[in-house]
Amino acid sequence: MKVLDIFAGSGGFSLGFKLAGYNIIGAIEQDKWAAETFAYNIKDAQVIVSDIQKCSNDYLLEEFNHKKPDIILGGIPCQGYSICNKNAGDPKDPRNSLFKEFLRIAELFLPKYLIIENVPNLIQAKTNSQELVIKIIKTELEELGYQVYWQILEATLYGIPQIRRRLFIIASKKVLDNPFPEATHYFPEKGKINSCLEICPNLWDAISDLPKIHAREGQEEMEYDREPSNDYQKQLRKGSKKVYNHLAMKHNKRTIERFASMSWGDSISDVPEHLKPYKRNSNGVISDKVYDQNSRRLPPNRPCHTIPASFYANFVHPYLNRNFTAREGARIQSFPDWFIFKGKPTVVSQKLLEREGRLDEKHLCQYNQIGNAVPPLLAKAIAENLKNQVCLFNIKPDSVVDNQKLSQVLI
């Protein structure tokens, strides 16, 4: 089936579907660097670099109608993401947000499936008039003729070494018996759900075979210097002859000393007083504000915490005195090593760019692209499960199908 990805980012959502055998025909992404990453790695797709609100119906039909997408994907920034006119209505109402753009394109092509990804809190979110946002979304999709399902999926249950919970909404033209994939993995601390599950890789399983580099070391392209030691590493190294985007942050001596004082589980609030951050422009005065979520040294034998868009400042390597590289974050997100992220590794503060009128420099850096992405192996699990549903649709109700033939169809 043919897939169109809107709000596409760097392509994690699409990559999962591509790995499951789907045909990615196109993407719409307004950020230049993220779109470049998408186009470089998913080469057959037509990538439109534009604000989706500026893409007219006629233009989109001209570009994609001949390909007729069967599935439309979208990591939509729903809640609190109001359109430009802040006085247009309740900013928490999805009908006043970019969700309406998703609906516009859905109505334009009426594909077999629509799949939305968002944060779990969307389920509890309410408009100013106390309507549940998720119910508004469901109603709007049902009015287009879709059956609507939603579920929060936990990444570790699908073999991804990261505690990451995300809401997925699937809208289907047909009734789905099992719209979401069953768990394939478990983590020992949470207990085993059934005997068929595999153990989920931990943080060290994900990154331990990457070249050992210290602060200020590494390159955008370098050689592997050791063999993979587990199936997860073998899976993500398949098809790649080199390591990309493995460049360490340029920490100063004091920052390295700060990290050296930290044990597993410690954050910046746990370091000795003399190593805590200085106030901005204070000439050496220790700040009285310490953000506990910043620079936490993660234990190697557990899944990583959720990788956010700014993870270059969130986590410290289990053994080395530096933050994660972009490639380590990509491994934790389940991107294969051959997937290369374009643009700069990091950029200056977006607030600073806005304040100084340098909006033309405002792009999603490699870390942003990785942290914003849908983990490809999670997307792949959704895609493969959906493929099984499609196979079942193609079996006529009055036909006789034995278990062996049914298994072959599902495979």
Active site residues: 78
Strands 2-6 and 71-74, by their bridges, are: parallel
d(CA 395, CA 266): 55
Cα distances from 196 to residues 186, 192, 246, 283, in angstroms, run 10, 9, 35, 59
The residues, ordered by sequence, that sit 6+ positions from 398 with a Cβ below 8 Å of its Cβ are none
CA nearest to 6, candidates 138, 112, 104, 127: 104
Q: Could you count the other beta carbons within 10 Å of the beta carbon of residue 283?
A: 6
The residues, ordered by sequence, that sit 6+ positions from 135 with a Cβ below 8 Å of its Cβ are none
Residue 30, CA atoms < 13 Å, CB-side half-sphere: 10
Phi and psi, residue 304, nearest 5°: -70, 155
- CA–chain centroid gap for 407, Å, is 31
d(CA 175, CA 109): 19
The total number of residues shown for the chain amounts to 411
d(CA 335, CA 244): 12
The DSSP result for 17-62, as a single string, is HHHTT-EEEEEEES-HHHHHHHHHHSTTSEEEES-GGG--HHHHHH
Q: Which H/E stretch holds residue 73?
A: strand 71-74
| Cβ contact 33:75 at 8 Å | no
d(CA 91, CA 256): 43
Q: Could you count the other beta carbons within 10 Å of the beta carbon of residue 5?
A: 30
| Cβ contact 290:149 at 8 Å | no
d(CA 40, CA 15): 12
Which residue matches tokens 């399902």? 149
d(CA 240, CA 2): 26
